[in-house]
Amino acid sequence: MSSRISASVYTSHVPAIGVAIDQGLVAEPYWAPLFAGYEPSKSWMADHTPDVIVLVYNDHATTFSLELIPTFAIGTAAHYPVADEGWGPRPVPDVVGHPHLSAHLAQSLIQDDFDMTIVNALAVDHGLTVPLSLLFGQPDAWPCPVIPIAVNVVQYPPPSGRRCIELGKAIGRAVASYDDDLDVQVWGTGGMSHQLQGPRAGLINPAFDAAFLDALIADPEALATKPHIDYIREAGSEGIELVMWLIARGAMADMADHAATDPAVDAARPTVTHRFYHVPASNTAVGHLILEESP
Ligand code: DHB
Ligand code: FE
């Protein structure tokens, strides 16, 4: 008996999207085209709800503050309250964890040379809750447990693309060695191009975003060597959030080390279940992708 990763899901996490959902504004002309792009994913998700989501996101100096900045942190709690980011917590369900799989992931990742910070108490901000709202709508309870993996992309220096892909691979190994029969999805969140501050505030780069999505699907290794300065120059200071997508992508079967020498690797590339791109949403270009493992 072992667990498996069935799909990876990628989405931006703009706070204003949460506000639009929470305040019933989704049919407004500004928002309707954005939410229409997530309808196919919501239907797909209803039929493919996993047993657990490993959700890679960044805390926006909400819980960790700038006094303590783990590069990679894993939530190990049974329960994650919704953070108050200044306007009160979003009116969404608290997040239920999976402490047993979290403990296994922490053990496996740390023994596999990734020095994860273990977080036993964690209030989750828009980085985690907005993706849940986009894919699940407004349920009374989230349909499955979530294990947060928080990545520092707020305070220089962020982790490299290579390190993120390697962490994804290690998550893949950890899930495969979990002694229960769980269907696990790994989500990568944040991005796409955006800059919230300084003279270039409002920067959007659709050409960069399209090329990133193409490479993420078909040639993620090419992204491993992209330096953080390229993200910041091309995709804006907050565009660096995109490195988190490489963690989710690294967890898929075609990225496993043994797959690299397997001539069938191209055939094992994941299926693109849904791809969507929309500008604008607040200050951000919204990108969204679902990649399913080939059966
Ligand atoms: C916005 C985007 C983000 O990624 C974020 O963390 C905060 C705000 C925005 O576009 O408004
Ligand atoms: Fe963000």
DSSP 242-290: GHHHHHHHHTSGGGSGGGGG-GGGTTTSPEEEEEEEEEEETTEEEEEEE
Atom of ligand 1 nearest to the CA of 283: 10
Taking residues 49-55, report their average pLDDT: 98
Mean pLDDT, residues 244-260? 92
Report residue 251's pLDDT band, with 50, 70 and 90 as the boundaries: very high
Atom of ligand 1 nearest to the CA of 194: 10
| CA 181 to chain CA mean position, Å | 23
With 90 as the cut, is the pLDDT of residue 92 above it? yes
- Do 138 and 21 contact (CB within 8 A), yes or no? yes
Based on its alpha-carbon atoms, the radius of gyration of the chain, rounded to whole angstroms, reads: 18
Q: Is the pLDDT at 264 greater than 90, yes or no? A: no
Q: Which whole-number Å values give the CA distances from 256 to 160, 265, 280, in the listed order?
A: 18, 10, 35
What confidence score (pLDDT) does residue 1 get? Answer: 76
Whose alpha carbon is nearest atom 1 of ligand 1?
14
Q: How confident is the model at residue 206 (pLDDT cuts 50, 70, 90)?
A: very high
Q: Name the residue of 63, 85, 134, 238 whose CB sits within 8 Å of the most ligand 1 atoms, as the mutation to test its pocket.
A: 238
pLDDT above 90 (res 190): yes
Ligand 1 binding site (Cβ under 6 Å of any ligand atom):
13-16, 60, 194, 196, 238, 282-284
Whose CA is closest to 37, among 208, 274, 206?
274
Ligand 1 atom 5 nearest Cα: 14
Q: d(Cα 100, Cα 105) in Å, to the nearest integer?
A: 9
What's the mean pLDDT in 2-28?
A: 97
Nearest CA to ligand 1 atom 10: 283
Known active-site residue 126 = yes
- Let me know: does 12 contact 284? Beta carbons within 8 Å: yes
Total residue length of the chain: 295
According to DSSP, the β-strands at 4-11 and 117-119 are unpaired
The residue whose C-alpha atom lies closest to atom 4 belonging to ligand 1 is 14
Alpha carbon distances (Å) from 242 to 25, 156, 231, 295: 27, 15, 8, 27
CA of 253 to the centre of ligand 1 (A): 31
Judge whether residue 261 has pLDDT over 90.
no
105-121 average pLDDT score: 98
Question: How sure is the predictor about 266, in pLDDT bands with cuts at 50, 70 and 90?
Answer: low
CA of 3 to the centre of ligand 2 (A): 30
Return the ligand 1 atom nearest residue 127 CA.
6
- Percent of the chain past pLDDT 70, that is, above it, reads 98
Report the pLDDT value the prediction gives residue 259, as an integer from 0 to 100. Answer: 78
Q: What is the atom index within ligand 1 of the atom nearest the CA of 60?
A: 6
Query: CA 221, CA 12: separation in Å to the nearest integer?
Result: 22
Confidence at 2, pLDDT banded by 50, 70, 90: confident
Question: Taking all residues of the chain, what is their mean pLDDT, rounded to a whole number?
Answer: 96
Q: Which residue has the higher pLDDT, 194 or 295?
A: 194
pLDDT digits (tens, 9 = 90+) for 115-164: 999 999 999 999 999 999 999 999 999 999 999 999 999 999 999 999 99
Q: What is the pTM of this model?
A: 0.97
The answer on pLDDT for 267 being more than 70 is: no
Q: Which of 126, 274, 278, 288 is catalytic?
A: 126
Q: How far is the CA of 13 from the centre of ligand 1 (A)?
A: 7
